[in-house]
């Protein structure tokens, strides 16, 4: 199935693009999707997503179809869903 991803803020700047579509087999969780996309990303990109313990930082907003996801392991993704990753921004 196809999953649409959008990278916001510094994530977009870090990988030079803001949209990506990946194809993966069902069933898959949001956490699985995150691990898959991190496989081919830079160290700086990974630092924006993961904390020192290599788990997703709690200040990264992960949005699935316009709803914030907290339980990454148990939230499953569906065909054609949209996942957005929003690192905190504070520009004023």
Cα gap 16→30, rounded to integer Å: 23
Residue 13 φ/ψ, nearest 5 degrees:
-65, -35
> Of 35 and 51, which CB lies nearer to other proteins in the complex structure?
51
Binders of other proteins among residues 43 to 82 (CB under 8 A) are 47-48, 51, 57-59, 61, 63, 66-70
Cα gap 33→54, rounded to integer Å: 15
Cα gap 76→40, rounded to integer Å: 22
Strands 19-23, 2-7: pairing kind: antiparallel
> Of 28 and 63, which CB lies nearer to other proteins in the complex structure?
63
Mask of contacts with other proteins, 10-49, x by CB under 8 A?
Answer: x-xx----x----------------------------xx-
Residues that bind other proteins (CB under 8 A): 8-10, 12-13, 18, 47-48, 51, 57-59, 61, 63, 66-70, 84, 86-92
């Amino acid at each position: 199935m196809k999953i649409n991803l959008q990278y916001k803020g510094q994530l977009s700047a870090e990988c030079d693009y803001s949209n990506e579509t990946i194809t993966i087999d069902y069933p898959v969780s949001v956490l699985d999707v995150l691990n898959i996309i991190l496989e081919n990303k830079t160290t700086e990109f990974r630092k924006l997503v993961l904390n020192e313990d290599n788990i997703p930082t709690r200040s990264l907003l992960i949005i699935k179809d316009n709803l914030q996801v907290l339980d990454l392991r148990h939230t499953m993704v569906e065909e054609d869903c949209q996942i957005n990753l929003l690192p905190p921004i504070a520009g004023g």
